[in-house]
Amino acid sequence: MRSALAGNLGRLRLARGLSLRELSATTGVSKALLSQIERAEANPTVEVLVRVAEALDTSSAELLRRPLPRPEIVRAAELAVPDDEISVHLLFSSHEHGRTELYRTALPSRSRSQASTHGTGSVEYVMVVCGHVTLVADETPYPLAPGDAARFSGAVEHYYTTGAERAVTHSMLGYPRA
């Protein structure tokens, strides 16, 4: 955790063009302690972490975020379901810059997903992988073919329908930082 904090603090401080002395003056944290944190030699208190995060216009979570050690792979074969069932799989979720979720949805022929909304400030992105889908958002239909993508407010009621063929979509939901 110390090495993640050290790397993130140094990267963010330099990206904002701040010296240790300037960051110290802004936060009230000594230059010596900031230097020790950047060298992964100190364990700051939560109060210090919060003050530094605020000065760098970020969150404490972002300061402590560890990079992924390797790619996370979701194999399509692991998501196999019968052609006559609707399935939704959460592929990834993130809380780094607000919350983000990535889904793969399989829709059988002549089906309709549940109507949903995701809250004020949310944005949904959808891409049709195969088949034809109609996005119905706020009671307006938007036909989508394979490879088509859409972006829309997740706050409006919406659902997806299919025609004579099965369809697969990838959707991403973005939620505002609280």
- Residue with the bigger pLDDT between 15 and 56: it is 56
Question: pLDDT tens digits, residue range 31-41?
Answer: 999 999 999 99
> What pTM does this model have?
0.58
Give per-residue pLDDT as tens, 89-106.
877 766 655 788 999 999
**Three-state secondary-structure class, residue 45:** coil
The pLDDT, as a whole number, for residue 45 is 95
pLDDT, tens digit (0-9, with 9 covering 90-100), for 60-84? 888 988 765 666 667 777 777 788 8
